[in-house]
């Protein structure tokens, strides 16, 4: 299994702990809170039913969420698994939705911001079997492995380090065409570690400064504090689960 997929893969018996983390209220300023699970469906109304379904999942020899997803990812598969597991359709639909949100998705490296301008270099990586950001992260998160690759394919190590940083920044495979993540990347908040160690006021201040420096005032809206606070908390999770060595 791909290393980064393995990092996010959760044992079935740990699903309740995942939802507890997602639904936990986090105070980012006095009287102001956020939570990681804003867009997840496994809220309190489903939590108890999901928890009750764990024994049935284990009984069907489903040990982790990647295996579970394979069993329920299509309508036909889900219908068969309802019979096999005796778990209600609405609970499996919630789990399917939330697994899709939680797990990283592969994106061709040639489609990532900045990398899409490096056609020659991405083709060289493709020939080495590095097709997606997850391929690159899984095999070359270690600096020593990138040094070996650099010598082998005759690409500068500094360039490969930048490539791995972009792949890591977009590891979840989402928002690759959104403007705001690219702006954050260009203004220096280009790793999960930097986000995790910052605070919402500093990031918003830098965002406003960047817009002013680049004549972008009025073109892009400054993000709300809660948006940034949520991004910081997610960065802490991502940085804990899988870390690239620079």
Residues 164 and 235 in one domain: no
Q: Are residues 195 and 154 in the same domain?
A: no
Report the mean per-residue pLDDT for the chain. Answer: 95
Q: Return the half-sphere exposure (C-beta side, CA atoms, 13 A cut-off) of residue 236.
A: 14
Domain boundary at 72, 102, 132, which?
102
Closest C-alpha to 184, from 171, 172, 166: 166
What's the rounded mean pLDDT across residues 10-30? 94
Instruction: Among 78, 102, 126, identify where a domain stops.
Output: 102
Report residue 213's pLDDT band, with 50, 70 and 90 as the boundaries. very high
Tell me if 107 sits within 8 A of 133, measured CB to CB: yes
Contacts of 32-37 spanning 24+ positions with Cβ under 8 A: 32/225, 32/226, 32/229, 34/226, 34/229, 34/230, 34/233, 35/230, 36/230, 36/233, 36/234, 36/237
pLDDT at 246 over 90: no
Domains in the chain: how many in total?
3
Range of the domain at 53: 9-102
Q: Identify the pLDDT of residue 240.
A: 97
- Residue 86 and residue 26 in one domain: yes
* 15 and 97 belong to one structural domain: yes
Q: Does residue 118 surpass a pLDDT of 90?
A: yes
Q: What local confidence, expressed as pLDDT, does residue 43 receive?
A: 77
Write down the pLDDT at residue 94. Answer: 97
- 150 and 80 housed in the same domain: no
Query: What's the pLDDT band for 218 if we cut at 50, 70, 90?
Result: confident
pTM metric for this prediction:
0.93
98 and 13 in a single domain? The answer is yes
* Mean pLDDT computed over 169-192: 95
Q: Is the pLDDT of residue 70 over 80?
A: yes
In a domain, 120, yes or no: yes
Q: Is position 208 within any domain?
A: yes
């Amino acid at each position: 299994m791909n290393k980064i997929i393995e990092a996010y893969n959760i044992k079935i018996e740990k699903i309740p702990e995942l939802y507890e983390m997602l639904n936990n209220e986090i105070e980012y300023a006095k009287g102001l809170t956020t939570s990681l699970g804003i867009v997840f469906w496994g809220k309190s109304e489903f939590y108890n039913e999901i928890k009750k379904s764990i024994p049935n999942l284990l009984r069907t020899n489903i040990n982790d969420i990647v295996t579970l997803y394979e069993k329920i990812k299509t309508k036909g598969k889900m219908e068969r698994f309802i019979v096999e597991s005796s778990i209600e359709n609405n609970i499996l639909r919630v789990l399917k939705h939330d697994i899709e949100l939680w797990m990283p998705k592969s994106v061709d490296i040639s489609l990532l911001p900045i990398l899409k301008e490096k056609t020659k270099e991405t083709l060289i990586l493709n020939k080495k079997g590095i097709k997606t950001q997850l391929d690159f992260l899984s095999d070359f998160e270690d600096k020593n492995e990138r040094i070996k690759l650099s010598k082998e394919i005759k690409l500068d190590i500094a360039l490969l380090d930048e490539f791995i940083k972009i792949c890591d920044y977009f590891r979840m495979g989402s928002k690759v065409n959104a403007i705001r993540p690219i702006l954050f990347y260009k203004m220096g908040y280009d790793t999960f570690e930097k986000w995790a160690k910052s605070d919402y006021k500093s990031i918003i201040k830098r965002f406003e400064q960047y817009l002013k420096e680049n004549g972008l005032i009025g073109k892009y809206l400054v993000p709300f504090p809660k948006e940034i606070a949520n991004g910081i908390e997610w960065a802490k999770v991502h940085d804990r689960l899988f870390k690239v060595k620079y």
